[in-house]
Structure 1
Amino acid sequence: MSEISRRRLLKQSATALIGLSSINLLNLLANSTSAAETAIDNLETQIYQLMRNFQIPGISIAMIRDGELFWHKSFGVKHQYTKKPVTDETIFAAASLSKPLFAYVVLKMVERGEIDLDKPLTAYTDKPLIPDPRIKLVTARRVLSHTTGFPNWSGDKPVWINNTPGSKFAYSGEGFLYLQTVVEKITGQPLEAYLQQQILKPWGMNRSSFIWQPEYQTTASYGHNRQNQPKPMSQPKAASSAGSLRTTASEYAQLLIAMMKPEASLQQMLTPQIKLSDSLDWGLGWGLEKTNKGNFFWHWGDLVTFKSFTVASKDLKTGIVILTNSQNGLKICGNIVNQAIGGKHPAFKYWMIDY
């Protein structure tokens, strides 16, 4: 156990462990340190069992309680053959968990009057991204709510518009890349340098980066395919707002903690922009869900051999970050979330999640 000692954690007893336990584990708690320790040990045992069941070599988890990081732990190995252990310093590819962090930065720029959420992005560029006249309907709000009409990825081809911007939800990494060029033009900095200056260094996310760092040669985990074969992590030389973040679970938790602060710009991120289903909406950078425990914001990450999930509640000031080094990683996230923060989470039924 790290971040806080077991002794300090146990003193929090049943109150703190509400954030760590399912209803079954809650029944074990009798406001005693022995019951609390049993609940923690049971959770860890179940995580190890889930990893074995679904062939997941390594995982790192961070928990937020009362708006603070109070528990984080790493399990397993970062390479199936070398058996080098995953530690709290092990770097994972966060994939699309990059998007909410970038969205946060954009909303802070909006707060400072540096960019307008509803101003066409063409107003910030020297020429339109593509000749389609509908490009003038693409705004920062539509990028962050995935309503640009762009495809998710265009490959080596120029991006195109499938649906009139603003008309429907269509998850798009291309939109984030377009907005990234605008942010870089406004700030006069490459995205990596700007993020390090504005967010990563101030928040103490000293191991995190959107580009490959030399130290990752020894600290980065390998990814693993369905058959548990290790694959080296890709090494991005340029930042991608849509998916190149390399980080640890405890460092990424700083974003969830920041999201729980009472700031108007952050509330905009958690305001529904477009409906996905009866229980799911999309905000600005975050998926939003209505649960039997209240409203939560969430996102998943998928870089094939690295999969991740995060979900949190601003009102309850609780949340979790789960980073895995396996193509099977998302298969156990629902179980862990249920054990960690409870409730039924419709986000796990979102059709784009590839288990």
Structure 2
Amino acid sequence: MDRVEYTGIERKHAMQRPGKCYLFGAAAVAALAAAPASGQAGNCAMPPSAAGGTDNIHTRYVEGHLLPPVIKSDARPFSLADRMRQYDVPGISVAVIHDGKIVWARGWGVRDLASCKPVTPDTAFQAASISKVVTAVTALRLVEQGRIKLDQNINEALRSWQVPKDATLAPSGITLRELLSHTAGLGVHGFGGYQPGAPLPTPVQILDGVSPANTPPVRSILPVGSQFEYSGGGYVVTQVALSDVSDTAFADLGRREVLEPLGMTRSAFTMPPSPAILANAAFGSAHGKPMPGNYLVYPELAPAGLWTTATDLARLLIDLQASAAGKRGHRLSPAMTRLMMTPVKDNWGLGVAIYPQGAPRFMHDGVNAGYESFMVSYIGEGDGIVALTNGGDGHRLMGEVVRAIATDYGWSDIAAPATEEKELSLAELSKAAGHFEGGGLKVDLEARSEGLFARLAGGTMAERLIALSPTRFRSEGLGVTVEFTPDFASCTMIEGAPPMKLVRSAPSHAAL
């Protein structure tokens, strides 16, 4: 099954998409469970531990203490090697931030299934939708330089293309703030990629859906500002606007404003990848076999075209953490960073998703064909995690790796320790029953004596959710945990996807 790029917020859309995820259209979440792993990542043996980099008490804890969110009372932890085989993930690279510093970074497994060379901290992966975070920082840099405005009609910045006027859906036009926060009402969730060597569309051809572009035109599909609707297409609009106002190619702009100053030397908006990136690049895989051509090419640079390492992304997180804590001399001013991390709608800020419960945190994830990525960081504190994978069910593997790291360091807001299922009464379950909507996802919840059941609107199958507490439930089918507010007026995805919010609304007339 081919996957299309999409963010963690993309995971929710996995339910509707023909293949993609890290969320946001109901397509994202379901595809995560659609293709079971083969249990074998090619014929490569696990490289010696020393080949991956740092070896210490923390890395050894990860290697031997992986657990899913829900466990039995007598459950024993899995080894990382076993889980990589089970989830069909050839390689994973991880970087951990503690007290504002990268305390360790290393790789496990192999970067490709042909050479079987080991993943190291310097191995570059496709970041997929995490590219949008770098794009957002680049855009906000230009805002602070006075080259573009957050709240003016983006057409005033665009010279090489114009967003088609829509008197009904966008009578006053679309702004950069709306593009970065996915509230512009534009379509085209994600992108399918192109085989290496195939003709690539220009950004304008992508926006107009003109051959050789393989996606439809980027146009208004919802009233501007009315709701969150994840749009990779909106980030291509941003890409063109930033290039136009700076008279600089987007790849060069991103390098100048973000990558180079932060020492992200193994990162580049380069599609196809440069020889320097390919020298230590992870190649994508599917079902235990190399992808044809090793990877797909994404000319949609701003939303999906970054190659990077876990260590380089950790440098970006550290810079944003410091700025958010009020320190100056970073890529963004403290005021701009705080604006970036203030939700515009449905827990989504300017280029990042914000977790509303517990200690303030921001995150993004991503999926391109053959790659999945995840990063999460506390906003006001110097702790965080980055993980990158190159095939198989990287989503679930990264979830367990992040849980092990969070358990090891005591970061329960990032990932709660594994727990047993809780038994709840019908009265307790009934509080969560009802119809919920958010970000294009519609779900009916029904309380039964045997548990709380969820069904996507229009679907025929209902899944029994696992109760982790009176307000927290787990969908094993989607790999997502949700937390209800105390009054059960809404729930938010707190694990396995960006923090998408679903709000109680009029009950569905369709019975489960």
Asked if these proteins are the same fold (TM beyond 0.5), I'd say yes
Match of residue 147 from structure 1: 183
The answer on whether the counterparts of 1:272 and 1:288 sit within 8 Å (CA) in structure 2 is: yes
Q: Cα 1:5–1:163, aligned 2, differ >3 Å: closer, same or farther?
A: closer
Q: Distance in 1 between matches of 2:140 and 2:403?
A: 31
Q: Which deviates more from structure 2 when the two are superposed, residues 261-270 or residues 149-158?
A: 149-158
Q: Which deviates more from structure 2 when the two are superposed, residues 188-197 or residues 209-218?
A: 209-218
Q: Say whether residues 1:52 and 2:89 are aligned partners.
A: no
Q: Cα 1:350–1:201, aligned 2, differ >3 Å: closer, same or farther?
A: closer
1:146 CA drift (Å): 0.4
Match of residue 99 from structure 1: 132
SS at match of 1:196: helix
Q: CA-atom RMSD, angstroms?
A: 2.3
- Give the count of matched residue pairs: 314
The answer on whether the counterparts of 1:142 and 1:166 sit within 8 Å (CA) in structure 2 is: yes
Q: Distance in 1 between matches of 2:396 and 2:224?
A: 33
Match of residue 337 from structure 1: 402
1:156 CA drift (Å): 4.2
Q: Say whether residues 1:319 and 2:319 are aligned partners.
A: no
SS at match of 1:242: helix
The answer on whether the counterparts of 1:121 and 1:136 sit within 8 Å (CA) in structure 2 is: no
Instruction: Supply the AA of the counterpart residue of 2:305.
Output: S
The answer on whether the counterparts of 1:3 and 1:71 sit within 8 Å (CA) in structure 2 is: no
**Which residue, out of 256, 269, 276, partners 1:215?**
276
**Which residue, out of 383, 388, 393, partners 1:328?**
393
Q: Say whether residues 1:348 and 2:409 are aligned partners.
A: no
Any idea what the Cα deviations from partners look like across 1:61-94, whole Å, max 9, x if unmatched? 0011111111101000112243111122211111
**1:212-291 equivalences in 2 (<5 Å):** 212-225=273-286, 227-231=287-291, 232-235=294-297, 238=299, 240-261=301-322, 262=326, 263-275=334-346, 281-291=347-357
SS at match of 2:266: coil
The answer on whether the counterparts of 1:298 and 1:347 sit within 8 Å (CA) in structure 2 is: no
1:105 CA drift (Å): 1.2
Q: Cα 1:87–1:350, aligned 2, differ >3 Å: closer, same or farther?
A: closer
Any idea what the Cα deviations from partners look like across 1:93-129, whole Å, max 9, x if unmatched? 1100100111011112222222211111011124632
1:335 CA drift (Å): 1.4
Any idea what the Cα deviations from partners look like across 1:224-254, whole Å, max 9, x if unmatched? 11x1111112345x56100100011101111
- Deviation beyond 3 Å, 4+ runs, structure 1: 1-6, 153-157, 349-352
Larger Rg: 2
1:297 CA drift (Å): 0.5
Match of residue 23 from structure 1: none
Any idea what the Cα deviations from partners look like across 1:285-329, whole Å, max 9, x if unmatched? 00111344x121011110021001111102231111100001411
Q: Distance in 1 between matches of 2:259 and 2:243?
A: 17
1:347 CA drift (Å): 4.2
Any idea what the Cα deviations from partners look like across 1:198-246, whole Å, max 9, x if unmatched? 2211211112111121233332111111x1111112345x561001000
SS at match of 2:496: helix
Instruction: Supply the AA of the counterpart residue of 1:273.
Output: V
Q: Which deviates more from structure 2 when the two are superposed, residues 295-304 or residues 80-89?
A: 80-89
Q: Distance in 2 between matches of 1:347 and 1:109?
A: 33
Instruction: Supply the AA of the counterpart residue of 1:265.
Output: M
1:165 CA drift (Å): 0.8
Q: Say whether residues 1:193 and 2:252 are aligned partners.
A: yes
Bigger relative contact order, structure 1 or 2, given CA contacts below 8 A and separation 6+? 1
The answer on whether the counterparts of 2:92 and 2:388 sit within 8 Å (CA) in structure 1 is: yes
Any idea what the Cα deviations from partners look like across 1:154-175, whole Å, max 9, x if unmatched? 6443222111110000000010
Q: Distance in 2 between matches of 1:2 and 1:114?
A: 46
**Which residue, out of 206, 223, 232, partners 1:164?**
223
Q: Say whether residues 1:301 and 2:366 are aligned partners.
A: yes
**Which residue, out of 61, 67, 90, partners 1:42?**
61
Q: Cα 1:135–1:243, aligned 2, differ >3 Å: closer, same or farther?
A: farther
| TM-score normalised to structure 2 length | 0.58
Q: Distance in 2 between matches of 1:75 and 1:224?
A: 16
| TM-score normalised to structure 1 length | 0.82
Q: Distance in 1 between matches of 2:306 and 2:95?
A: 17
Match of residue 138 from structure 1: 174
Any idea what the Cα deviations from partners look like across 1:152-198, whole Å, max 9, x if unmatched? 15644322211111000000001011011111011100011111122
Instruction: Supply the AA of the counterpart residue of 2:295.
Output: M
Instruction: Supply the AA of the counterpart residue of 1:161.
Output: S
Match of residue 33 from structure 1: none
Unaligned stretches of 5+ residues in structure 1: 10-36, 276-280
SS at match of 1:340: helix
Q: Cα 1:171–1:181, aligned 2, differ >3 Å: closer, same or farther?
A: same
Match of residue 265 from structure 2: 206
Q: Distance in 1 between matches of 2:110 and 2:141?
A: 37
Q: Cα 1:318–1:2, aligned 2, differ >3 Å: closer, same or farther?
A: farther
The answer on whether the counterparts of 1:93 and 1:244 sit within 8 Å (CA) in structure 2 is: yes
Q: Distance in 1 between matches of 2:153 and 2:52?
A: 44
Q: Cα 1:102–1:267, aligned 2, differ >3 Å: closer, same or farther?
A: same
Q: Say whether residues 1:129 and 2:163 are aligned partners.
A: yes
